[in-house]
Copies of this chain bind each other. A is one copy, B any other.
Amino acid sequence: MVFVTRVEHFNAAHKLWNESWSPEKNKEVFGKCSNVNYHGHNYELHVTVKGEVNSETGFVMNAKELGEIMKVKVVDVVDHSNLNMDVPFMQGKFTSAENFAIGIWDELEEEISKQGAQLHCVKLIETQRIYVEYYGK
Protein backbone atom coordinates (compact mmCIF):
# COMPACT_ATOMS: atom_id res chain seq x y z
CA MET A 1 0.00 0.00 0.00
CA VAL A 2 1.25 3.46 -0.96
CA PHE A 3 -0.09 6.89 0.06
CA VAL A 4 -0.39 9.63 -2.56
CA THR A 5 -1.03 13.28 -1.69
CA ARG A 6 -2.07 16.13 -3.90
CA VAL A 7 -1.89 19.75 -2.78
CA GLU A 8 -4.20 22.56 -3.90
CA HIS A 9 -4.60 26.18 -2.80
CA PHE A 10 -7.53 28.52 -2.44
CA ASN A 11 -8.38 31.81 -0.77
CA ALA A 12 -11.47 32.47 1.33
CA ALA A 13 -12.98 34.80 3.91
CA HIS A 14 -14.63 33.60 7.11
CA LYS A 15 -15.31 34.46 10.72
CA LEU A 16 -15.81 32.37 13.83
CA TRP A 17 -19.15 33.18 15.35
CA ASN A 18 -21.65 31.32 17.53
CA GLU A 19 -25.10 32.81 16.91
CA SER A 20 -26.37 31.58 20.28
CA TRP A 21 -23.75 33.63 22.12
CA SER A 22 -23.56 37.36 22.83
CA PRO A 23 -21.03 39.43 20.86
CA GLU A 24 -19.00 39.69 24.09
CA LYS A 25 -18.87 35.91 24.51
CA ASN A 26 -17.88 35.51 20.85
CA LYS A 27 -15.12 38.07 21.34
CA GLU A 28 -13.93 36.36 24.51
CA VAL A 29 -13.72 32.87 22.97
CA PHE A 30 -12.82 33.58 19.35
CA GLY A 31 -10.84 36.82 19.79
CA LYS A 32 -9.91 38.55 16.54
CA CYS A 33 -11.37 35.61 14.58
CA SER A 34 -14.84 36.89 15.48
CA ASN A 35 -14.42 40.25 13.70
CA VAL A 36 -17.91 40.89 12.37
CA ASN A 37 -16.74 41.97 8.90
CA TYR A 38 -14.73 38.77 8.34
CA HIS A 39 -11.03 38.09 7.79
CA GLY A 40 -9.49 35.52 5.44
CA HIS A 41 -6.81 33.00 4.59
CA ASN A 42 -4.77 31.41 1.83
CA TYR A 43 -5.73 27.82 2.58
CA GLU A 44 -3.46 24.94 1.52
CA LEU A 45 -5.25 21.62 1.13
CA HIS A 46 -3.43 18.25 1.17
CA VAL A 47 -5.60 15.28 0.21
CA THR A 48 -4.04 11.85 0.77
CA VAL A 49 -5.38 8.65 -0.78
CA LYS A 50 -4.09 5.12 -0.30
CA GLY A 51 -4.20 1.91 -2.24
CA GLU A 52 -2.20 -0.72 -4.08
CA VAL A 53 -0.04 0.29 -7.02
CA ASN A 54 -1.73 -0.50 -10.34
CA SER A 55 0.62 -2.68 -12.37
CA GLU A 56 -0.33 -1.05 -15.68
CA THR A 57 0.21 2.57 -14.63
CA GLY A 58 2.46 2.53 -11.59
CA PHE A 59 -0.20 4.70 -9.92
CA VAL A 60 -2.32 4.25 -6.81
CA MET A 61 -4.60 6.76 -8.47
CA ASN A 62 -3.93 9.12 -11.35
CA ALA A 63 -2.97 12.40 -9.65
CA LYS A 64 -4.60 14.30 -12.49
CA GLU A 65 -7.93 12.64 -11.63
CA LEU A 66 -7.41 13.32 -7.94
CA GLY A 67 -6.72 16.96 -8.79
CA GLU A 68 -9.83 17.11 -10.96
CA ILE A 69 -12.01 15.74 -8.14
CA MET A 70 -10.51 18.24 -5.68
CA LYS A 71 -11.16 21.03 -8.17
CA VAL A 72 -14.76 20.17 -8.95
CA LYS A 73 -15.86 19.17 -5.46
CA VAL A 74 -13.89 21.65 -3.33
CA VAL A 75 -11.65 24.28 -4.93
CA ASP A 76 -14.18 25.62 -7.44
CA VAL A 77 -16.77 25.77 -4.64
CA VAL A 78 -14.70 27.53 -1.99
CA ASP A 79 -12.06 29.58 -3.85
CA HIS A 80 -12.49 33.33 -3.43
CA SER A 81 -15.63 32.68 -1.39
CA ASN A 82 -16.95 33.57 2.04
CA LEU A 83 -17.12 30.28 3.95
CA ASN A 84 -19.91 31.53 6.23
CA MET A 85 -22.14 32.70 3.39
CA ASP A 86 -21.26 31.13 0.04
CA VAL A 87 -20.37 27.46 0.56
CA PRO A 88 -23.27 25.00 0.48
CA PHE A 89 -21.45 22.21 2.35
CA MET A 90 -20.60 24.56 5.26
CA GLN A 91 -24.11 25.94 5.76
CA GLY A 92 -25.13 25.91 9.41
CA LYS A 93 -21.64 24.96 10.63
CA PHE A 94 -18.96 26.98 12.41
CA THR A 95 -16.24 27.57 9.87
CA SER A 96 -13.39 26.40 12.09
CA ALA A 97 -10.56 24.60 10.33
CA GLU A 98 -11.71 21.40 12.06
CA ASN A 99 -15.24 21.57 10.68
CA PHE A 100 -14.00 22.71 7.29
CA ALA A 101 -11.69 19.68 7.02
CA ILE A 102 -14.55 17.33 7.94
CA GLY A 103 -16.76 19.03 5.36
CA ILE A 104 -14.11 18.61 2.67
CA TRP A 105 -13.71 14.92 3.59
CA ASP A 106 -17.45 14.37 3.13
CA GLU A 107 -17.35 16.04 -0.30
CA LEU A 108 -14.43 13.91 -1.53
CA GLU A 109 -14.81 10.44 -0.04
CA GLU A 110 -17.33 8.88 -2.39
CA GLU A 111 -15.84 10.28 -5.58
CA ILE A 112 -12.38 8.98 -4.66
CA SER A 113 -13.76 5.53 -3.88
CA LYS A 114 -15.20 5.38 -7.39
CA GLN A 115 -11.65 5.69 -8.72
CA GLY A 116 -10.55 2.60 -6.82
CA ALA A 117 -8.53 4.39 -4.13
CA GLN A 118 -9.40 5.16 -0.52
CA LEU A 119 -9.41 8.62 1.04
CA HIS A 120 -6.90 8.56 3.91
CA CYS A 121 -6.41 12.10 5.19
CA VAL A 122 -7.58 15.67 4.65
CA LYS A 123 -4.95 18.12 5.90
CA LEU A 124 -5.93 21.78 5.86
CA ILE A 125 -3.29 24.44 6.51
CA GLU A 126 -5.04 27.64 7.61
CA THR A 127 -1.95 29.70 8.38
CA GLN A 128 1.76 28.99 8.67
CA ARG A 129 1.05 28.35 12.35
CA ILE A 130 -2.14 26.28 12.39
CA TYR A 131 -3.21 23.18 10.50
CA VAL A 132 -5.68 20.34 11.08
CA GLU A 133 -5.83 16.73 9.92
CA TYR A 134 -8.89 14.50 9.63
CA TYR A 135 -8.74 10.76 8.91
CA GLY A 136 -12.50 10.03 8.83
CA LYS A 137 -14.64 8.57 11.56
Contacts of A32 in B (CB 8 A): 79-80
- Per assembly, the copies of the chain total 6
Question: Is A7 among interface residues, defined by CB-CB distance under 8 A?
Answer: yes
Contact call A134/B3, Cβ cutoff below 8 A: yes
> If A85-B37, A96-B59 touch, does A9 touch B127 (CB 8 Å cutoff)?
yes
CB distance from A114 to the nearest CB of B (A): 17
Chain B residues with Cβ below 8 Å from A3 are 132-135
CB A127 to nearest CB in B, in angstroms, measures 5
Is A74 in the interface zone, CB < 8 Å from B? no
Residue of B with least CB distance to A37: B82
Instruction: Please judge, given known A-B contacts A7-B130, A81-B35, A82-B35, whether A14 and B40 are in contact too, CB under 8 Å.
Output: yes
The residue of chain B having its C-beta at the shortest distance from the C-beta of A84 within the complex is B37
Query: Is A4 in contact with chain B by the CB < 8 A criterion?
Result: yes
Known: A13-B39, A39-B82, A42-B128. A57 touches B7 (CB 8 A): no
Residue of B nearest to A52 (CB): B98
Given contact pairs A2-B101, A31-B64, a sample of 11 additional A-B residue pairs in the complex whose CB atoms are under 8 Å apart = A2-B132, A5-B132, A6-B129, A13-B37, A32-B79, A42-B127, A53-B99, A58-B99, A59-B98, A60-B98, A60-B132
